[in-house]
Structure 1
Amino acid sequence: MFSPLIDQLITSLRVLPGVGPKSATRMAFHLLERNREGAQALSQALAEASAQVKRCEQCRTLTEQPCCAICASSKRDRQLMCVVESPADVVAIEQSGTFSGVYFVLHGKLSPIDGVGPREIGIDQLEERFQAEPISEVIIATNPTVEGEATAHYIAERAKKNAIKVTRIAHGVPLGGELEYIDGGTLAHAISSRREI
């Protein structure tokens, strides 16, 4: 229907999460009709990032340096480690301004059905850090899904074998949330994870 280059652009935009055929077509025409400078800048930034951004050698988040700014910082508490599923989780926790430790990014979660085992998410590298670094507590911040919970349990077992305290981030009713709008599974988890005040 479109020229080959426009079709190629639309198909390329569809690799983004949540972008279907209509959204990709709208984006492509916006870039070509109204913002060619933006299209060139996007193209250059994407090419540079895909060529230069790698995983941090320590925590495995995304960075163009061998060691990310968090791991390189002398101000971080090296005894406190937070294990997350993705680099986006690191950004979310950092934006909260409440965590001063270091991270380990799994880049996924255990999912035997999909062929994702401990090796694929870097558990061997995580265990090396457990043994080599002075970690006293691991905060597991995987998502509250079946796979996320299984991953949390697996990591907890490995940490405990190294005499490391293991904690799990709380899940439940969001601040400002109204109980009548919360799903049953979230409420059940919130009630079972209650704490004394």
Structure 2
Amino acid sequence: MQTPLIDDLISALRVLPGVGAKSAQRMAYYLLERDRKGALRLSGALQEAMDKVGHCEQCRTFSETDFCPICASSKRNQNEICVVESPSDIAVIEQSGIFRGTYFVLMGKLSPIDGIGPDEIGLPLLELRLQQQDCSELIIATNPSVEGEATAHYLQQMAKNYQIKVSRLAQGIPLGGELEYLDSGTLTQAFISRREV
């Protein structure tokens, strides 16, 4: 039998994605048995992040200031906006070094069944940005799920209202991938997204 404090710790660890009861219990015991300094550091970092990390006023990504470093940079092309579902998507794109524009983070995707409409993912703020900013291209980088595709369609219609060029990230065969290991949906997208060489 565990004490109430240990039960609370295990329960708190279960808020993490993919962490079930057993994993949370192992983590809690590990921290208590072997790494109390690490646990205190983790606790302090969590507290500070919760207190000080908010959202960028322009793109909605996580930021400790009113504007994130990307939106505040004069070296970024402010006329190109890449729309992504989450801040982690920005991290992946930035690691590639290929995109030099700015972003807009939806913090989700349209899902009427779950009660998530345009307001819940910040689309009125994006529309205001499209009205006020000289945007030359809206790049849609939502995931290829049913909800992601519905969100992409909504974004496409919104951008067309302002005569803004809309593009979608190509989807299909990964670099180094072999055809025999692809599912039919991925192969279909690869054919649809093919370009002339």
How far the C-alpha of 1:192 sits from its partner, in A, is 1.7
- State how far apart, in whole Å, the 2-side matches of 1:192 and 1:140 are: 16
Matches within 5 A, 1:9-20: 9-20=9-20
- State how far apart, in whole Å, the 2-side matches of 1:101 and 1:192 are: 26
How far the C-alpha of 1:6 sits from its partner, in A, is 0.8
Amino acid corresponding to residue 155 of structure 2 in structure 1: I
Instruction: Verify: 1:69 aligned to 2:73, yes or no.
Output: no
Partner of 1:30: 30
How far the C-alpha of 1:140 sits from its partner, in A, is 0.3
Partner of 1:151: 151
How far the C-alpha of 1:2 sits from its partner, in A, is 1.1
Amino acid corresponding to residue 86 of structure 1 in structure 2: S
Amino acid corresponding to residue 69 of structure 1 in structure 2: P
Matches within 5 A, 1:1-197: 1-197=1-197
How far the C-alpha of 1:28 sits from its partner, in A, is 0.8
Amino acid corresponding to residue 70 of structure 2 in structure 1: I
- State how far apart, in whole Å, the 2-side matches of 1:3 and 1:187 are: 53
Percent of aligned positions that are identical = 64
**Other structure's SS at 2:80 match:** strand
How far the C-alpha of 1:181 sits from its partner, in A, is 1.1
Structure 2 gap segments, 5+ residues each: none
What's the TM-score once normalised by structure 2's chain length?
0.98
**Other structure's SS at 1:195 match:** coil
How far the C-alpha of 1:20 sits from its partner, in A, is 1.1
What's the TM-score once normalised by structure 1's chain length?
0.98
- State how far apart, in whole Å, the 1-side matches of 2:172 and 2:5 are: 47
- State how far apart, in whole Å, the 2-side matches of 1:129 and 1:45 are: 33
**Structure 1 stretches of 4+ moved >2 Å:** none
Amino acid corresponding to residue 194 of structure 2 in structure 1: R
How far the C-alpha of 1:27 sits from its partner, in A, is 0.8
Amino acid corresponding to residue 60 of structure 1 in structure 2: R
Amino acid corresponding to residue 59 of structure 2 in structure 1: C
Amino acid corresponding to residue 20 of structure 1 in structure 2: G
What are the superposed Cα offsets for residues 134-172 of structure 1, whole Å, 9 maximum, x if unpaired? 110010000000100010010011111101100000111
**Other structure's SS at 1:117 match:** coil
Amino acid corresponding to residue 19 of structure 1 in structure 2: V
- State how far apart, in whole Å, the 1-side matches of 2:188 and 2:178 are: 15
- State how far apart, in whole Å, the 1-side matches of 2:26 and 2:176 are: 36
Quote the RMSD (CA, aligned, Å): 0.7
How far the C-alpha of 1:62 sits from its partner, in A, is 0.3
